[in-house]
Amino acid sequence: MALLELRDVRARYGAIAALHGVSLTVEQGQVVALLGANGAGKTTTLRAVSGLVRRYGEIRFDSRSLLRCGPESAARRGIAHVPEGRGIFDELSVWDNLRMGAYASISRRELKRESDRVLGYFPWMRDRLRQQSGTLSGGEQQMLALARAMVSRPRLLMLDEPSLGLAPLVVQELFRIVALLNKEEELTVLVVEQNAELALAASDYAYVLEVGHVAVEGTSDELRAHEGVRKSYLGY
């Protein structure tokens, strides 16, 4: 069943159109990758889903329209968006960041249980709960952003360039955890990634965006074998 469905979605920043009719589908339980060059509209697609940018067309989440939802309501309906640059609250402690993840959707009593569940995926975080999150390393901040998103028990996780600026080993660990969450919690994931190699290895299905529309789509295996994708994005 389609959890998220975009039909002919358009969006613009002032006079500049960023999306010219994007259509894509994310099935329940899938990991879907969004590939493309800089400025192709990957980030804008995520922003259109969570309502951070004005958009037109059709966006359905769990077969209900999202078009009238701002980001606040999208969060309440089960969409967790980890933005580019992670969006952690750097002056707050690690624990307060996790509390904020629970702000909209779960009660104080559930917070204990949910944070315990999430910390199971990030054992190192348990000893660092009181640390100011701005003093974590880049990789740890990205993990925290992911953990915060997971506390709310989202139905859809949207990750924007999680690998940006991180060491290869850290990136591997990050995608290992995403895969684990996908498997153990049947979490549906929509991930934007510049690193096509990585994204295709981690996903079931992928879309390639070019100047604001979908140029190629297919299962990740198909795209890896696709000549155009190989030449332009994988470099061989």
Q: Is 50 in the site for other proteins (CB under 8 A)?
A: yes
Q: Is 104 in the site for other proteins (CB under 8 A)?
A: yes
Burial (CB < 10 A; 0-12, 13-18, 19+), residue 79, is buried
Q: Is 138 in the site for other proteins (CB under 8 A)?
A: yes
Q: Is 141 in the site for other proteins (CB under 8 A)?
A: yes
Region binding other proteins by CB under 8 A among candidate stretches 100-108, 182-190, 206-214, 221-229? 100-108
> 17, 52, 129, 234: which one contacts other proteins (CB under 8 A)?
52
Region binding other proteins by CB under 8 A among candidate stretches 24-32, 87-95, 188-196, 224-232? 87-95
> 68, 91, 124, 227: which one contacts other proteins (CB under 8 A)?
91
Query: Toward other proteins, which CB reaches closer, 105 or 194?
Result: 105
Query: Toward other proteins, which CB reaches closer, 99 or 224?
Result: 99
Q: Is 108 in the site for other proteins (CB under 8 A)?
A: yes
Q: Interface residues for other proteins in 149-208 (CB under 8 A)?
A: 152, 165
CB of 103 to other proteins, least distance (A): 5
Contact between residue 200 and residue 191 where contact means Cβ atoms under 8 Å apart: no
- Interface ranges with other proteins (CB under 8 A): 50, 52, 70-73, 75-76, 80-81, 83, 87-92, 96, 99-101, 103-105, 108, 132, 134-138, 141, 148, 152, 165
